[in-house]
Chain A
Amino acid sequence: MKTYFQKSTSAAPLAVLRIALGLLLFVSIIRFWAKGWIHQLYIEPKYFFPFFGFEFVTSPGEYIYIIFAVCGISAFLFAIGFFYRIASIMLFLSFTFIELIDKSTYLNHYYFVSMICLIMIFLPAHVYFSIDAYRNRSLAFEKIPQWCVDTVKLFVCLIYLFAGLAKINSEWLLNAQPLRIWLPSKNDLPFIGSIFNYVWVAYVFSWLGCLYDLSIPFLLLNRQTRLFAYGAVIIFHILTAILFPIGMFPYIMIATALIFFSPDFHIKLLNKIASLFGKAQPLVIAGSRFEHNAIMKSLVLSFFIIFFLIQTLMPFRYLAYPGELFWTEEGYRFSWRVMLMEKSGNAQFMVKDKEGKYAAIENREFLTPLQEKMMATQPDMILQYAHILRDHYAALGWVAPEVYVDSYVAMNGRLGKPLIDPLTDLAKQEDSFSHKPWILPLNNEIKGF
């Protein structure tokens, strides 16, 4: 064990990751801005759905543009390795702040970006091929500890494995859900479209997708299969980019998986880039090795032990809840459960007060279309919205308003049914990490993880 932590490797792979990730995030922010999503998602809504325990994070209105600017600039500084430590901290904080504002915008790939940025804060990704190292030669090193690169590999492996495990269930493998619903909607694509009319294609895609997630970490780790595996990574993620509206995620994963290639590959790649800028190669003292100082090293290692412990346990926290995970979504987020459900719903809220006042709610008067869509299928958001309504009507002078919901949710090809007990006064329920007993059961067991 001790010798493992003394092992060295080239600093180039982390430098490539830093540049690729930073530039992709920089482009992501510009894309997000250009599409008008900042206004649409963080300024237009009258209300937000913060995460439990992070209620203090809320949109600062028009100032959100400053946060996006900070995020974009830090991503760029991160890429070029200029004031790397500060840039990586600012990138992590600004990106995570944005993602914590509203649950409606939660995506697993945003969570991935937050976490990889968090990891990068603690890694020496700036000691090679960076402005920092160029300006200050005492920061430039040829080698870094092996575990620094392995940390990233471990994280990427965990994600694929958990995404694969999450597919080992009766919905995905035995019913080919939700792909059998999603694929026919793409049957007008040129060349390959017509195959999506066949149900067996959905089965093939489901099984291959599951096998891909479960095996790709090992195929990438193994030198002999690496090139083949990377080809699979490209094909898989490009296919998902064609079939589903998932933005920058495929490209981020394709870039991240480069970390598995040998130091030689990365050194050559960087030398190529250097020659574009008219430099022969990065200037470093041959054999020099970066080392965290003793205190930092134990802090950083402790951090990573805790980090990976949490990462390993999070996807299993659903076991602590009764009921069907896909239906209740208790323990669903932050678990790398990706593209597992076709879920859609409709929620009609009623507010009553002690004096006999009554209102049937038009959701669009309170929520944006995206918020309404997300809220209608997710119990914790339904509760948050019920509290928004309670407080709104209490402020109008209604006496102790009660809030009820008539909900209807369809999931993975089942006929819709009520998600929430219509007789529960949601105004009186409090949010917590414990089970929400007012979620009605699915009464239809989904077997597997």
Chain B
Amino acid sequence: MGVLEKSKSILTFILVVVLSSCGGSDEPSPVDDDSKDREAILIHWADNIIKPSYNNFSSKLDVMVSKADEFTASPTNSSLLEFRSAWLAAYTEWQKVELFEFGPADKYTLRNFFNIYPADVSGIAANINDPAANLEVPASYPRQGFPTLDYLINGTGGNDAAILQYYTTDADAPKRIAYVDKLVSRMSTLLSNVVTEWNGTYRDTFVASTGLDIGSSMGAVVNAYVLYYERYIRSGKIGIPAGIIGTMVGAPYPEKVEAYYKRDISKSLVKTAHQAAIDFFNGKSINGGSEGPSLKSYLDGLGAKDPSSGTSLSTIINDQFSTINNKVDLLSSDFYNQIQTNNQAMVDVYTNMQTEVRYLKVDMTSAMSITITYTDNDGD
């Protein structure tokens, strides 16, 4: 636009304003106070989603711990199979709590100790030989948690007999048994730290922090949620093994899939995790499944929409979730195989997840006036 045209547009605008100010505004205003009540959302999250999810996971983990104890007490074919199925059930349930990495889970960095993969096989061997190995340092993250158990019960031999031998007749068997025990009881302790805090005073602290600035509950939840979706679902489960992101990529890394040794559950894990993210967005109660105050209802209350089409932002986000679900359904249950035979299907999932990342990270946070990756600073 030239200067003349711009001046014209300014003059037209002033005219419009002057004229319209004589008329009055016909702006439809969503005056639904409750939907913008952040305390109600925080209460629903805490009482009907987060705490019940941790309880469910906790009971699955307890079963896994007892099955692991039976296995380590007497490693037999049947105790191995039972340990495995309890591991799978707990790993699946974990996918429904991994997104809550704020508050207590963030304080104890639960994810670091539960689900960092691929497992570090030589590091695990070193730790087995050193009973005093430090499991708190970053290098130890891929030497514990579900991915390491995956290796220990699915990857230490070519078949079940070989795996059993690893824990029975081999010279190092007692040390290996001890390491399994150590890892499992460690997971149990870490989780109970988090659950205890949620069942204690943290719940009230969480609910009372109703702002949106640094340190507020909703700010922390949304940041953790968006980060989880981007870095741990999109990148971790899909993008990195498919060779789409990271430096010097190009070739896929099928050995970086989640549950690499179990092999045929990568898809069911991503589906569970993705559904948990969808349900959280919609505020679906864990018990009963009804929807309550949520990111969706808050966005609707704010009237967030695409002004050009009139479609609400929550609908756009949910439609994209469905598109992704359909793309994930096309994948093989075994991502290792999928990546080597038809990586394009993985790329399709990634691309659609990237679109969703933008809706969540840019459009949603902008509509809610939440800052992504808070830095303490002045604005103007």
Contacts and interface: CB of A to CB of B under 8 A. Distances in A.
A170 interface: yes
A339 B378 CA distance: 12
B248 A359 contact: yes
B36 A410 contact: no
A415 B363 contact: yes
A342 to B, nearest CB: 6
Interface in A85-135: 105, 107-109
Interface in A342-378: 342-346, 348, 356-362, 368-370, 372-373
Interface string A238-252: 000000111111000
A284 to B, nearest CB: 39
B169 to A, nearest CB: 46
Contact of B366 (A105, A344, A360): A344
B363 A194 contact: no
Interface in A301-358: 319-320, 322-323, 338-339, 342-346, 348, 356-358
Given A174-B20, A199-B27, A342 B379 contact: no
Interface string B347-380: 0000000100111011101111111111111111
B29 A413 contact: no
Contacts of A356: 250
A168 interface: yes
Contacts of A108: 380
Interface in B288-333: 302-304, 306-308, 313, 316
A270 B309 CA distance: 61
Interface residues of A, number: 67
Nearest to A447: B13
Nearest to A165: B10
Contacts of B365: 344
Contacts of A35: 376
A330 to B, nearest CB: 12
Nearest to A193: B210
B237 interface: no
A244 B39 contact: no
Chain B interface bracket (under 10, 10 to 19, 20 to 34, 35 or more):
35 or more
A408 interface: yes
A187 B248 contact: no
A371 B297 CA distance: 32
Interface string B2-37: 010010011011101100100001010111010010
A47 interface: no
Contacts of A173: 17
Given A107-B380, A409-B362, 14 more contacts: A37-B376, A109-B380, A169-B13, A174-B20, A184-B302, A185-B370, A198-B31, A245-B378, A359-B246, A360-B247, A370-B375, A410-B367, A414-B308, A447-B12
A408 B362 contact: yes
Interface SS majority for chain A: mixed
B9 A368 contact: no
Contacts of A338: 380
B367 A185 contact: no
Interface of A: 35, 37, 40-41, 105, 107-109, 168-170, 173-174, 181-182, 184-185, 187-188, 194, 197-200, 203, 244-249, 319-320, 322-323, 338-339, 342-346, 348, 356-362, 368-370, 372-373, 408-410, 413-416, 444-445, 447-449
B362 A345 contact: yes
A40 B378 CA distance: 13
A372 B373 contact: yes
- Best-surrounded residue of A173, A362, A415 (most CB of chain B within 10 A): A415
22 contacts: A35-B376, A105-B377, A107-B378, A185-B368, A187-B38, A188-B210, A199-B303, A200-B25, A246-B380, A319-B3, A338-B380, A343-B366, A358-B250, A360-B245, A362-B246, A368-B375, A373-B373, A415-B306, A415-B313, A447-B16, A448-B13, A448-B14
A413 B365 CA distance: 11
B249 A188 contact: no
A18 B246 CA distance: 54
A107 B379 CA distance: 7
B361 A181 contact: no
A445 B9 contact: yes
A400 B97 CA distance: 45
Contacts of B12: 447
Nearest to A358: B250
B29 A200 contact: yes
A344 B362 contact: yes
A168 B369 contact: no
A176 B177 CA distance: 66
Given A358-B250, A413-B367, A197 B36 contact: yes
B5 to A, nearest CB: 10
A410 B246 contact: no
Contacts of B16: 447
B49 interface: no
B380 A197 contact: no
Nearest to B355: A408
Contacts of B31: 197-199
Given A199-B27, A449-B10, A244 B379 contact: yes
Given A188-B210, A359-B248, A413-B307, A369 B380 contact: no
